[in-house]
Chains A and B, each alone.
Chain A
Amino acid sequence: MSGEISIQKRQSNTTRWLLAPGIIWMSLFLVVPILMIVYVSFWTQTTFNISSDPTLASWKQFFSSDTYTGSLWTTVRIWLIVLACTFIVGYPTALFVGLFVKSKTLSTVLLVICVIPFWTSFLIRVLAWRPMLGKEGAINIVLLKLGIIQQPIEVLLFTELSVIIGMTQIYCVFMVGPIAFMLSRIDRNIIEAARDLGAGFGRIFWKIIFPLSLPGVVVGAIFVSVMVLGEFATSGALSGRKVNLLGNIIVTQVGSLKWAMASVVGVILTVVMGIVIAGLLRIVDLKREL
């Protein structure tokens, strides 16, 4: 009896030692830094210096400036549009890969094909959209050759549209993966049974396939949301500095050593992120589904 207890004790000791390094690392280099952002957002900022005297000045400055509040709404708008686009673009692909392709090999090959572009550096992938979208870019050349347009489209590059196109392409795969995974786990017999009972594809899709793929949609939406909300490189490189997301404000503020303001924007970004993720997790109980 006592031997069993001592084994249990030793095991829980082992667990503690195995976990300690990871917990310490994450606390020191993830939790403490985020708390620092909250703390520094109340510091006093002067032109050349920053001191730890508490003040609300930076917060007031954020909410009284149209540039800053505007960037908050731009971020929310771009996030919603890109989220919708990645879903619309990604779902049919996931449907094909996860449900319609019968052979396991082919669906793996298709998923690998989707992942390969990620082997190019993220920043160069962003940059590659410039010769794609420009006035003399690939899209305009192709459309002109096909005779679909007579004049090159100029709104493609250095606008909000180019940011949306770029982000959709970069992030849509994060939608495809989780949805395809959930779809591939659907028991085909359920679909067969529904079909035998005379249900058409539309009915089968809305009553069976879509609800069962919802956890995948939520996971994909969390991935895309986290990445789009924290973005600044794509918006910086493709909008010609016309689209300023919260991330862009943080970068410029840090660049001019306005740490307090950068922290205020950081806190706001964290709050937005928290609301978005909590809202998405409300839709499905992931712990139960996975």
Chain B
Amino acid sequence: MESRILKPALGLYVALFVLFLYGPFVVLTIISFQQGPEGGPQFPIIEWSTYWYRHIFGLTPPSRIAPLPFGEALLRSMALALMTMVVSTVLGVMSAQAFRRKFKGSSFVFYLIVLGMMVPGVLTGLGTSLLANNVIGIERHWYTTAFATHVAYTFPFAFLVMLAILNRFDSSVEEAAWSLGVDPWTTFRKVTFPLIFPGVLSAMLFAFTLSLDEFPRTLFASGRDQTLPLAIYGTFSVEIHPNIFAFGVLTTLFSFALLSVYGILMAMSVRRAKKMAMQEDIV
């Protein structure tokens, strides 16, 4: 009875909720097609054009609006995200692997790791730059201090993903390998790792995307050379033009491309696992 009224009502509510979530993005996309270079980042649209997209790639005649200084920042952010991804995932797999056995102080270590995603970036950023700048007296760089904070932030995510995967892991296959005399490292490489690979992919995706968009930690800890979010933040203080919105659309499309690669790799590893299972059935 109640579900006849309640369910459609809630369904309608969810539709409004999605509108609320996507509203800003829709507006951002519309305004990115604003006429240039006179058109500002607001309504009404004077004339539809791709001016600001061409502006990003320097394909427009020079005007009073400087191109976005994002080229090097983008490269730095990608490098930083890759470094962070590798280190976080390795640390995450190692720690989660350790957590499969009971050990003393396990809940202390658990909270120590999870603390990394719980402490606001402002604080870790501030603390790290205090440590580097005032106490030790070294220069801050995106690939040193900022990198350290990025890993401290993304490692907990990788750890939790791996923990969830390894909790459901059937260890009898490993025991079979051990009982056949295979050493632990080879067992991990040949048996455990292929089985947990989907989880590793998810951990990598988490670490990479979180690091790529990380802002508060980087703001304090990265020193002179800007990463991409810092470069975007830099445009906040000066006048805003629709090119920043066009850039937002492009980075979103890039994220989708990344997500598709993840989806394809995931599907491939699932299919391989199925094929292996089928071969076992035949044998």
Q: Are A117 and B21 in touch, CB under 8 angstroms? A: yes
CB distance from A259 to the nearest CB of B (A): 6
B25 interface neighbour in A97, A100, A120, A222, Cβ under 8 Å: A120
Q: Are B17 and A89 in touch, CB under 8 angstroms? A: yes
CB-CB < 8 A to B28: which residues of A? 120, 124, 127-128, 131
Q: Is B176 interfacial (CB 8 A cutoff)? A: no
Q: How many residue pairs, one in A and one in B, have C-beta atoms under 8 Å apart?
A: 238
Chain B, interface size category, equals 35 or more
CB-CB < 8 A to B130: which residues of A? 33, 36-37, 40, 259, 263
CB distance from B46 to the nearest CB of A (A): 13
Q: Are A11 and B27 in touch, CB under 8 angstroms? A: no
Q: Are A30 and B95 in touch, CB under 8 angstroms? A: no
In the complex, the chain A residue whose C-beta lies closest to that of B6 is: A201
CB-CB < 8 A to B2: which residues of A? 200-201
Q: Is A121 interfacial (CB 8 A cutoff)? A: yes
A26 interface neighbour in B152, B232, B247, Cβ under 8 Å: B152
Task: Annotate B110-122 by CB proximity to A: 1 below 8 A, 0 otherwise.
Answer: 0011011011111
The complex places the Cα of A129 from the Cα of B42 at a distance, in Å, of 11
Q: Is A220 interfacial (CB 8 A cutoff)? A: no
Q: Are A92 and B10 in touch, CB under 8 angstroms? A: yes
CB-CB < 8 A to A132: which residues of B? 23-24, 27
Q: Is A32 interfacial (CB 8 A cutoff)? A: yes
A sample of 20 cross-chain residue pairs with beta-carbon separation below 8 angstroms, ordered by A number, consists of: A14-B98, A18-B95, A26-B155, A29-B149, A31-B115, A36-B135, A37-B126, A93-B13, A121-B229, A124-B28, A128-B248, A131-B28, A138-B43, A226-B119, A226-B120, A233-B233, A236-B236, A250-B126, A266-B126, A273-B120
B interface residue numbers (CB < 8 A to A): 2-3, 6-7, 10-11, 13-14, 17-18, 20-25, 27-28, 31, 41-44, 91, 94-95, 97-98, 101, 103, 109, 112-113, 115-116, 118-124, 126-131, 133-135, 148-149, 151-152, 155, 159, 184, 209, 213, 215-216, 219-220, 228-229, 232-233, 236, 240, 244-245, 247-248, 251-252, 255-256, 259
A interface residue numbers (CB < 8 A to B): 11-12, 14-15, 18-19, 21-23, 25-37, 39-40, 43, 50, 89, 92-93, 95-97, 100, 110, 113-114, 117, 119-125, 127-132, 134, 136-138, 141, 169, 172-173, 200-201, 222, 226-227, 229-230, 232-233, 236-237, 247, 250-251, 254, 259, 262-263, 266, 269-270, 273, 277
